[in-house]
Amino acid sequence: MPLLSRSERRLHRCLRGALGGTGHRFERPGTCGIINGMSEELEIEPREAASQPIRVLIVDNDRAVADTMSESLERMGYECVTATSGPEGKRHIQQESYDVVVTDLVMDGVDGMELLALSRQVLPGAEVIMVTGHASVPKAVEAMQQGAFNFLEKPVTTKRLRAVTDRAADAVRLRRQNLELNQRLDERFGFEGIIYASQEMQNVLERVRRIAPTDATVLIAGESGTGKELIAQAIHQNSPRKGKRMVPLNCAAVAENLVESELFGHVRGSFTDAHNDRVGAFEYANGGTLFLDEVGDMPLATQTKLLRVLEEHLITRVGDNKQIKVNVRVLSATHHRLEEFIEQGRFRRDLYYRLKVVTVELPPLRKRREDIVPLVDHFRKQFNKRHHKSVKGIAPTVTRRLYAYDWPGNVRQLRNAIETMVVLDVDGVLDLDDLPPELADAPAAAETGPAAAAPF
């Protein structure tokens, strides 16, 4: 069974190469023996400990089996904790952090499948190994389909226990390395793919870093094209919910009579053309994040129902009476001034305060011109690759023109302008003749402006 997917391994190699890292090679020494009573045929030295030791939780109703497995793995350098019942194992998972969980499949009270589900929820970075008797092998295979790393069939040999635990530990270590490399890349090249150089965006991202690990609702405000959905994605990807879905819903793009169905779902026959039951955005995003873009355009009647969902965490599908519990973090965005909408009676004041536990204000591009140069270079490279072009640079006069323009459409307009220029270019350098019409007559910045020294 592979430790990580091909894409994850490729990511690790790319990140390692980008930072000049060498990575680590993990040796897997072999051994023989039978757990619980059988002597080992071969003793080997513990493997070299990583910078962060691997913590292993062993859960088995039979104390002797649990202690023997613990002793065997401790000799290999692992930190082991034992639990002799399902409920005790559950408490350990809820209260402490582990990298590998080795659990018996069949136990009284709380069985291995329940511990697997809990581990995936509470310890998303941990690997779970099932221990099973021959009669329970089909159940163990089902557990692997639900996310278990592997299973061990009784009687468990020392060799097999150590080999499978080593592979699980290697997967954990590799993910740790990828996380560390990603964090180092963020420090050098930006945060979650957000390209910036200005102090204004640095302040925004520092705020995002503080609020992302929480479960607070966030209102992202800013003009159209400033990158509100990118900020929402950064919050989600740096939150405990990153392993679940982020579901975007543009409230302005949905017909008013269908907004409730899109949010809460509907049952068959609840309205014309409702031929089947349909899951809404809240249910689909359960456990993850729901991003409500252009929330200011939501109908007032739907605003009332949304407020109740945020307070009670219960939804009701259109045409149904059954309430469904949901666990969703809500991020919302708008380019409107919602305070003005409240005064006009177009937006509920109580919903406004419920949505803006934390607010992130995105400045327009004209107020963070230092970001224009790195964004232009990023888009040039991006569209070179997409359109099989080889634009190698931008003329200084064009750079000054781009810097001086006010960009009413913000980053989205800049991106579209650079794509147009790259597509139409014929000589490998973006010059004045490549500018789109709205920029052709725009005044250029002074020769001494910040863009004059742009490193293209």
pLDDT at 220: 98
Per cent of the chain over pLDDT 90 is 62
Nearest alpha carbon to residue 233 among 135, 158, 326, 331: 331
What distance in Å separates the CA atoms of residue 177 and residue 198, rounded to the nearest whole number?
Answer: 29
Residue 220 β-bridge partners:
333, 360
Average model confidence (pLDDT) across the chain: 83
pLDDT at 135: 60
pLDDT at 51: 56
Residue 278, pLDDT above cutoff 70? yes
pLDDT at 191: 60
From 26-30, 175-179, 241-245, 351-355, the region with the lowest mean pLDDT: 26-30
Residue 37, pLDDT above cutoff 80? no
Residue with the two structure tokens 């739907």: 302
Overall average pLDDT of the 411-429 stretch: 95
Residue 91, pLDDT above cutoff 50? yes
- pLDDT tens per residue, range 114-130: 999 998 888 878 999 99
Residue 456, pLDDT above cutoff 60? no
pLDDT band at 217 (very low <50, low <70, confident <90, very high): very high
CATH architecture of 190-363: 3-Layer(aba) Sandwich (3.40)
From 11-15, 135-139, 141-145, the region with the lowest mean pLDDT: 11-15
For 330, the 3-state DSSP assignment is strand
Per-domain residue ranges for the chain? 6-182, 190-363, 366-453
Give φ, ψ of 103 to 5 degrees: -135, 140
Residue 344, pLDDT above cutoff 90? yes
DSSP string, 255-316: -GGGHHHHHH-B-TTSSTT--S-B--HHHHTTTSEEEEETGGGS-HHHHHHHHHHHHH-EEE
Tokens standing for residue 412 = 């989205």
Residue 1, pLDDT above cutoff 60? no
DSSP string, 33-49: -BTTTPPPS---PPPPP
Task: Write down the CATH number for the domain with range 6-182.
Answer: 3.40.50.2300
Q: State pTM to two decimals.
A: 0.59
The answer to whether the 6-182 and 190-363 domains have the same CATH topology is: yes
pLDDT at 257: 84
What distance in Å separates the CA atoms of residue 392 and residue 375, rounded to the nearest whole number?
Answer: 15
Per cent of the chain over pLDDT 70 is 82
pLDDT at 178: 74
Residue 416, pLDDT above cutoff 50? yes
Overall average pLDDT of the 362-381 stretch: 94
What distance in Å separates the CA atoms of residue 297 and residue 258, rounded to the nearest whole number?
Answer: 13
pLDDT at 50: 42
Task: Write down the CATH number for the domain with range 366-453.
Answer: 1.10.8.60
Residue 358, pLDDT above cutoff 90? yes
Omega before residue 213 within 30° of 0, cis:
no
